[in-house]
C-alpha cells in the first residue's frame, strides 16, 4: 500500500517564529521531519503551512537540492488532493521530533495506528487523548479519513481533528518505548538533548586501530563544525580521493614528506562524510564511485613511492614489495567478505598503512617501510584466512 506523509508547520514558538524552523543538527526541524519521512519511503510528502517565510522556503529548497520533493499546502482540500485514494498517511505533528527508526517502523504498519505517551507531568505538553494517554505526535491514518475530515473541518485544527477521528474509528494505540519517545519542541532548548543523541548515534563502526584510537577527536570536531555548513558528504569523499591522488603524485616526484602529509589528511574525511550522511538521513552508498576509488588510489600511491625508491638506487625489491603488498591486501579483502567490518582492529587497512609509515618517514627509511608493510599485509591475510577456515570447519 502507498504511504504518504502529512507534516504540520504552522505553530509558533515562544519567540513568534515557526517551530518548524528551530535548528537541529545544522538544519531545521522541518528538514529533519521531512528527511525522516523520505528515509521511510513515503511519498508524497505534504507540509501544511499557513505562510511560507523565506527561511522555510530556503529549507524546502535545500531538500529539493538533495532530491527530496516537498509539497507545501495552505488549503486542506489541496492536501487531500495530493494523496491517492486508499493510501495510508504518516502524520507527524507540528514541532514533533521523532527518531528515524520510529518513523520507519510506523510507516510500515498496515493498519491505522496512533503512538501514545502516558498522561503524566513529563508529557503534559502533548495533546491529551483520554485520562491515561496523550498523543506522541506520530500516527498513521487512512487517506479517506483525511478527505472526510476536510469536508467537516471548518475552523478546527486539521491534525487534532484527524487524530480524534482516527481514534473514534478504532485506530490501534501503541505506547512509545521509554527512551525512544518523540520530543515535542516548543523552544530551541528542547532540542539540545535530542541533537546530542543524534550526534552520538551517527558514529559509525571504527574498523581499524587508527579510526578507533587516533582519529576520534578529529572526527568529532570536524563533524560538529561541518554539520551546520552547506558542505555535502560526497564532497568530502572527493576531497579524500583528490588528496590520495595528490599524495601519489608527490611520491612520484620524490616529495615524500608532502605525499605522506596529504595521505594522512585524507584519512578522517570518509569517516566525517559518513557521519554527515547519517545525521542528514542520507547515508552514503557503499557503491559510491569515489568511495570505491579510495583504496585503488592508495595502492597507486604505494606504487609511486616504490618507484621513487627504485629510481633512488634501492633496487627492484622495493617495487616488488609494493606489488606483493597490494596483492595480499586484495586477497585479504576477498577472504574477509562476510566478516564484520570491525572483526579485528589490528589488521591491515588503508588508514593503518598510512600511519604505519610515520616512524619510518621520520627515520628516512622508506624501503624498510615497504618491506615492513609487506609483512603487515601478509600476516593480516593469513590471520583472515585462518579465521575463514575456522568458520567453515
CATH superfamily of 207-392: CDP-alcohol phosphotransferase transmembrane (TM) domain (1.20.120.1760)
What DSSP state is assigned to residue 45? Answer: E
The three-point CA angle 184-59-80 to 5° equals 70
Q: What's the pLDDT score for residue 353?
A: 97
Q: What is the per-residue pLDDT for 388?
A: 81
What is the Cα–Cα distance from 361 to 366, expressed in whole angstroms? Answer: 6
Taking the domains of the chain in order of start, what are their residue ranges?
A: 3-194, 207-392
CATH of region 3-194, choose from 1.20.120.140, 3.30.750.210, 3.90.550.10, 3.90.1640.30: 3.90.550.10
For CA atoms 182, 141, 281, 55, the dihedral sign is negative
> Cis (ω within 30 of 0) for the bond into 44?
yes
Secondary structure letter of residue 210 according to DSSP: I
The reported pLDDT for the residue numbered 154 is: 57
How confident is the model over 167-209, as pLDDT tens digits? Answer: 998 899 999 988 788 999 888 888 888 888 889 889 988 889 9
Report the predicted TM-score, pTM, of the whole model to 2 decimal places. 0.86
List pLDDT tens digits, range 240-257. 999 999 999 999 999 999
At residue 339, the pLDDT reads 76
Confidence (pLDDT) at 358: 97
pLDDT at position 362 is 97
Alpha helices in 227-316 (DSSP H): 233-253, 256-266, 269-279, 289-292, 294-309
Report the relative pairing of strands 88-92 and 113-118 from DSSP bridges: unpaired
Distance (Å, rounded) from C-alpha 30 to C-alpha 8? 9
Torsion angle, alpha carbons of 229, 230, 235, 240, to 10:
-10
> Residue 82 phi/psi, 5° resolution?
-80, -15
Report residue 190: phi and psi, to 5°: -65, -20
pLDDT of residue 153: 63
Low-confidence ranges of the chain (pLDDT < 70): 1-2, 153-156, 342, 392-393
Whole-number Å distance between alpha carbons of 261 and 245 = 12
User: Within 10 Å of residue 87's Cβ, how many Cβ atoms?
Assistant: 18
Amino acid at each position: 500500500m502507498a504511504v504518504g506523509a502529512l507534516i504540520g508547520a504552522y505553530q509558533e514558538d515562544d519567540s513568534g517564529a515557526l517551530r518548524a524552523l528551530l535548528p537541529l543538527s545544522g538544519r531545521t526541524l522541518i528538514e529533519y521531519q521531512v528527511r525522516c519521512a523520505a528515509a521511510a519511503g513515503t511519498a508524497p510528502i505534504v507540509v501544511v503551512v499557513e505562510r511560507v517565510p523565506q527561511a522555510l522556503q530556503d529549507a524546502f529548497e535545500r531538500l529539493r537540492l538533495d532530491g527530496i520533493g516537498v509539497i507545501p499546502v495552505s488549503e486542506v482540500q489541496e492536501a487531500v488532493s495530493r494523496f491517492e485514494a486508499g493510501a495510508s498517511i504518516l502524520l507527524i505533528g507540528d514541532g514533533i521530533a521523532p527518531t528515524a527508526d520510529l518513523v520507519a517502523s510506523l510507516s510500515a504498519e498496515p493498519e491505522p495506528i496512533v503512538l501514545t505517551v502516558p498522561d503524566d507531568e513529563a508529557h503534559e505538553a502533548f495533546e491529551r487523548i483520554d485520562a491515561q494517554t496523550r498523543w506522541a505526535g506520530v500516527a498513521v491514518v487512512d487517506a479517506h479519513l483525511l478527505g472526510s475530515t476536510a469536508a467537516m473541518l471548518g475552523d478546527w485544527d486539521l491534525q487534532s481533528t484527524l487524530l480524534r477521528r482516527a481514534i473514534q474509528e478504532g485506530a490501534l494505540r501503541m505506547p512509545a518505548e521509554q527512551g525512544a519517545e518523540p520530543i515535542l519542541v516548543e523552544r530551541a532548548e528542547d532540542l539540545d538533548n535530542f541533537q546530542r543523541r543524534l550526534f552520538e548515534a551517527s558514529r559509525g563502526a571504527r574498523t581499524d586501530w587508527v579510526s578507533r584510537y587516533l582519529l576520534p577527536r578529529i572526527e568529532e570536531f570536524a563533524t560538529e563544525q561541518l554539520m551546520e555548513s552547506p558542505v555535502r558528504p560526497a564532497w568530502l569523499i572527493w576531497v579524500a580521493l583528490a588528496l590520495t591522488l595528490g599524495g601519489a603524485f608527490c611520491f612520484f616526484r620524490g616529495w615524500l614528506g608532502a605525499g605522506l602529509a596529504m595521505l594522512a589528511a585524507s584519512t578522517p574525511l570518509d569517516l566525517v562524510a559518513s557521519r554527515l550522511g547519517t545525521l542528514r538521513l542520507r547515508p552514503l552508498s557503499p557503491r559510491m564511485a569515489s568511495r570505491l576509488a579510495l583504496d585503488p588510489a592508495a595502492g597507486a600511491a604505494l606504487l609511486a613511492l616504490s618507484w621513487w625508491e627504485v629510481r633512488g638506487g634501492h633496487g627492484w625489491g622495493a617495487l616488488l614489495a609494493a606489488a606483493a603488498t597490494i596483492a595480499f591486501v586484495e586477497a585479504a579483502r576477498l577472504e574477509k567478505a562476510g566478516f564484520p567490518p570491525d572483526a579485528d582492529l589490528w589488521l591491515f587497512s588503508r588508514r593503518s598503512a598510512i600511519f604505519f609509515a610515520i616512524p619510518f618517514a621520520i627515520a628516512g627509511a622508506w624501503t624498510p617501510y615497504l618491506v615492513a608493510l609487506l609483512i603487515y599485509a601478509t600476516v593480516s591475510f593469513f590471520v583472515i584466512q585462518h579465521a575463514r577456515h575456522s568458520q567453515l570447519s
